[in-house]
Chains A and B, each alone.
Chain A
């Protein structure tokens, strides 16, 4: 919506003053395609631990982006910054053209935390309905949204079960379902598929690919390297720094390796 309005005004501009606006238009298009831009981001946790060290990168719209790295690398902190939950000590983070954490972003993004952030003493349906309402969905609309996301995570048969009586993997899928509510443009999912069986994992990856094909941007963190191969764009994170930012194919080609895991080992080793 914003995009088309700006494009129109610039097209009018183009006719009057060709060269100048042409350049501005090109820059604008690049900015628009960027979902997230991070410049010199530093985060210090608890006053001493430098979780992120002057990190810079840009991410593009409509892709599945993987934050890959060992635990403690700074993946979760980076995600919390993007969704606006983490205070930063330095740098600039822009999401969809707004400063990270801006009020305007809240209806447009969703966040699935690493721990299962679901009320265990409510049923699956009660959880979904509550979060749907908090996202601003009303009445029938909310009920339909709940049904739809349950289908997406293949949990329809468990709708009336108390979350505390579900298995770990099922709880995780409820947590993911909540993140899908309200049709967000940007989904930030912290380890959404860890610990799930291969069949289920494949199903969820199909879901993610479907969402990305519809223009959604998905950020997924994982410390499991075979997940990395499924992403379209990879950020290898280690010790609070970005070790590499590339597509899986490019990454393997540049390091002369066959798997992302090998590439990561090579890069991580070379960085010491």
Chain B
């Protein structure tokens, strides 16, 4: 793996995004609109909104980056550019980490804007501070990117790539503690929830909301998120074959 080639790949992916302002708009503006909408859904229940909104900040980047990455890498596999790259003097990790880098950077921009709206305009307070929120959001995006990259190997069309959100991400969102606190769920569902990486991303946000300093649980959550992301990236690079 080479830093130079990984950076070149990140740069290339970001350039592709820059040529597509509509996608950037969708990635950054839509979450802001949705979270504002949520505020009015919980109209008259500011305490509930205050506990839900940060959790949403842990889900949005993951969901968005999952979609963007799975489509982008699927296109790479389908259009022949991956064929070309695989005959060049590069490592597969140059591509994989190049993607992860580019989308994590995009996630940082997204998280900054969405956090500014949520914490500033919508009046949500988190005891742990903005920097912690941004850190957790970027790591959630990193996880989304990694999962998207891995999962794109199982899709043969863009349709399938989008459809894979339902079996892969929806169960994680349903069981992450957003709808019902995890300790009130049936034991089996709790086990499932324990096994899903998104749970830890959401839990990290909850820790920041209620604790001034970094708790041991928060650090554990982030480590699990990063660990799962790296595992998915490694699995993802295994699915990129030098020889087919």
Interface residues of A (CB under 8 A from B): 80, 83-87, 101, 103, 106-107, 109-122, 126, 130-131, 133-136, 138, 162, 178
Per the bound structure, the CA–CA distance linking A113 and B20 in Å amounts to: 26
| CB pair B12 A109 closer than 8 Å | no
Given contacts A84-B243, A87-B243, A134-B90, contact A119 B81 (CB under 8 A): yes
A178 to B87, CA, bound (A): 12
Which of A109, A111, A138 makes the CB contact (< 8 A) with B83? A111
The residues of A that contact B243 with a CB separation of less than 8 Å are 84-87, 101
Flag if B88 contacts A119 (CB, 8 Å).
Answer: no
B89 A136 Cβ-Cβ under 8 A: yes
* Minimum CB–CB distance for B29 against chain A, Å: 20
The answer on a CB contact under 8 Å between A115 and B87 is no
Contact B15 A126 (CB under 8 A): yes
**What 3 pairs across the A-B complex have the smallest Cβ distances?**
A117-B80, A106-B89, A133-B8
**Among candidates A103, A121, A131, residue contacting B19 with C-beta atoms closer than 8 Å:** A121
CB-CB under 8 A from B11, the residues of chain A are 130
Q: A110-B87, A111-B84, A119-B81 are in contact. List 9 more A-B contacts (CB 8 A).
A: A80-B83, A84-B242, A85-B87, A87-B243, A106-B88, A121-B16, A130-B12, A134-B5, A134-B85
For B89, list chain A residues within 8 Å (CB): 103, 106-107, 134-136
Q: A122-B15, A122-B19 are in contact. Are A83 and B87 (CB under 8 A)?
A: yes
B244/A122 in contact, CB under 8 A: no
**Cβ–Cβ contact A116 & B5, under 8 A:** no
- Which of chain B's residues have a CB closer than 8 A to the CB of A118? 81
B5, A115: Cβ atoms under 8 Å? no
Q: In the complex, what distance in Å separates the CA atom of A122 from the CA atom of B12? A: 8
- Bound form: Cα–Cα A161–B145 in Å: 29
**Contact mask B70-99 → A, CB, 8 Å, 1/0?**
000000000111011111111000100000
- Inter-chain CA distance A87–B4, complex, in Å, is 29
Q: Is the CB of B84 within 8 A of A117?
A: yes
Number of A-B contacts (CB under 8 A): 80
Q: Give A163 to B19 CA distance when docked, in angstroms.
A: 11
With A121-B20, A122-B19, A130-B8 already in contact, the answer to whether A85 and B83 are too (CB < 8 A) is yes
Residue of A nearest to B76 (CB): A119
Query: Which residues from chain B contact A85 at a C-beta distance below 8 Å?
Result: 83, 86-87, 242-244
Q: List 23 A-B contacts (CB under 8 A).
A: A80-B83, A83-B87, A84-B242, A85-B83, A85-B86, A103-B89, A106-B89, A111-B83, A113-B80, A113-B83, A115-B80, A116-B80, A117-B80, A117-B83, A120-B79, A121-B19, A121-B20, A133-B5, A134-B8, A134-B85, A134-B89, A136-B5, A162-B19
Q: Render B203-244 as a binary contact track against A, CB cut-off 8 A, 1 for contact.
A: 000000000000000000000000000000000000000111
Q: In the bound complex, how far is the Cα of B5 from the Cα of A160, in angstroms?
A: 23
User: Which one of B89, B94, B244 has the greatest number of beta carbons of chain A within 10 Å?
Assistant: B89
Chain A nearest CB: distance from B54 CB in Å? Answer: 34
Determine how close the nearest CB of chain A comes to the CB of B96; give it in whole angstroms. 14
Distance, CA A133 to CA B87, complexed state (A): 14
Whole-angstrom CA separation of A112 from B12 in the bound complex: 20
Give the nearest-CB partner of B19 in chain A.
Answer: A121
User: Shortest CB–CB separation between residue B112 and chain A, in angstroms?
Assistant: 25
B15 and A138 contacting across the interface, CB-CB below 8 Å: no
- Taken together as a complex, chains A and B put the C-alpha atoms of A203 and B211 apart, in Å, by 70
> What 0/1 pattern do residues 111 to 130 of B give for CB contact below 8 A with A?
00000000000000000000
Chain A nearest CB from B63 CB (Å) reads 23
Q: Which residue of B lies closest to A162 (CB)?
A: B19
B8 touches A84 (CB 8 A): no
**Complex formed: what's the CA distance from A85 to B88 in Å?**
11
Closest Cβ of chain A: how far from B178's Cβ, in Å? 35
Contacts of B80 in A (CB 8 A): 113-117
| Complexed CA–CA distance, A41 and B15 (Å) | 42
